[in-house]
Amino acid sequence: MDDLKFYSDDSKELRKFFNITKTVAKEFGLSMNANNSAKIENNAKGLDLNELNDLQNDIEGNEFIPKLLKDKLLKIFLETKVKQKNNLRERSFLPVEKGRLGLKDPVQEYKLSHVSTALYLVFEESLRGITQNWLSWTRSGKRTILKDLIHIFKEVLPNITIKDIKVEYKDDETSLEIFNYKWSDFKAAETDIKKLLNENYINSLYTEIDENNYFGKYYKNDELEFPVLKSNLSNMMTRTFLSITENQVLIRTHPMNTHMNNKKCRLCQNSKETLTHVLTSCPKTMGNFDKERHDKVIRVL
């Protein structure tokens, strides 16, 4: 290494910085022979600001330094038998604005879909009678879509119960109150709740990354192996009150399957195609993770 100069007001700090640089340079195969070539000059003339800026630009535009760092990094990975793969699951699902891939997590998307369905029932004026029945059934311990909604809310509001969900109807106006949150409009409620859930989801991903921050670690989400959310209410209870589009929203059939002519899953051809089936029990999607599984589920959706 030629023409390497260190500037410092303190000779002790100068020697310390020199030794650090020497150690780092040795890792990259660069030798610094202090005995033969290094010398200390007292009362040396310092560099002015323009000279420092010129030197900084030379370093930033130098392609050799990044190449040295990359080659050394690959060498370390090779020696430690660590493969250079960036397939940590949580990193894939972080949003693009966070510098990640922004893939859609099927489980999270299913939860958000469940929220939209429940809010649609609450705010749709023609479904008030059905919603009141479901609220009553949920309070009596029945498994309903509103109970599943409580299950989702527990991620951000751990102590929430069905008693904390208050729905009021007055003429043509609907009011939904959950703890300190209150809405009188479907779109506003959907936007706020999804924002709350997504922020909590992203924070949980960061927590998971901090706990499992290993280079190339393959993290398997066991949650996908089991049913995540399922409502045992039959759609027959509401079918006569709903149009085809609304019925599809409630029972989660594929939009292309308008008249329910083909009830079989397009992947396995065995069970009825619902989002619950695709995410939790379809043999053609079970056991597949990351991008392959993501693509399959998205094709069905």
Among the candidates 25, 44, 79, a domain finishes at: 79
Residue 4 DSSP SS3? coil
For residues 228 and 86, give the distance between their C-alpha atoms in angstroms, rounded to a whole number: 27
Q: Is residue 153 part of a domain?
A: yes
Last residue of a domain, one of 36, 58, 79: 79
Residues 152 and 112 occupy one common structural domain: yes
- Do 173 and 154 share a structural domain? yes
Distance, in Å, from the CA atom of 163 to the CA atom of 138, rounded to the nearest integer, reads 10
Q: pLDDT value at position 217?
A: 34
Q: What is the pTM of this model?
A: 0.42
Residue 174 domain-assigned?
yes
Q: What is the pLDDT of residue 13?
A: 72
The reply to whether 193 falls in a domain is yes
The enclosing H or E element of 14 equals helix 11-27
The answer as to whether 29 is a domain residue is yes
pLDDT of residue 166: 87
Residue 216 included in any domain:
yes
User: Do 121 and 240 lie in a common domain?
Assistant: yes
Task: Write down which residue in 54, 79, 104 finishes a domain.
Answer: 79
In a shared domain, residues 181 and 136: yes
Same domain, residue pair 33 and 142 = no
Residues 69, 175 within the same domain = no
Look at residue 272 in the predicted model and tell me its pLDDT.
Answer: 76
Residues 29 and 161 in one domain: no
Same domain, 183 and 218: yes
Q: How far from the centroid of its chain's Cα atoms is residue 220's Cα?
A: 14
Q: Is residue 2 part of a domain?
A: no
Same domain, yes or no: 19 and 158: no
Domain assignment present for residue 3? The answer is: no
pLDDT of res. 275: 63
Can you tell me the distance from the alpha carbon of 64 to that of 29, in angstroms, rounded to the nearest whole number?
A: 13
For the chain, how many residues are written? 301
The tokens of 256 are what?
Answer: 């292309």
Verify that 145 and 283 share a domain, yes or no. yes
- Tell me the pLDDT of the chain (301 aa) as tens digits: 456 666 666 777 777 777 777 776 776 666 766 666 666 667 666 666 666 666 655 655 566 666 666 666 666 656 655 544 444 555 667 776 665 667 777 778 888 888 888 888 888 888 888 888 888 888 888 878 888 888 888 888 888 888 888 888 888 888 888 888 889 888 899 999 999 998 888 888 777 666 554 433 333 344 433 333 333 333 333 333 333 344 444 444 444 454 455 667 777 778 877 666 766 677 776 655 555 555 655 555 5
Same domain, 145 and 282: yes
CA gap 281, 279 in Å, rounded: 6
Return the CA Rg of the chain.
30
Q: Is the residue at 84 inside a domain?
A: no
Its domain, for residue 72, covers: 11-79
| Domains: count for the chain | 2
| CB 112 within 8 Å of CB 194 | yes
Same domain, 135 and 280: yes
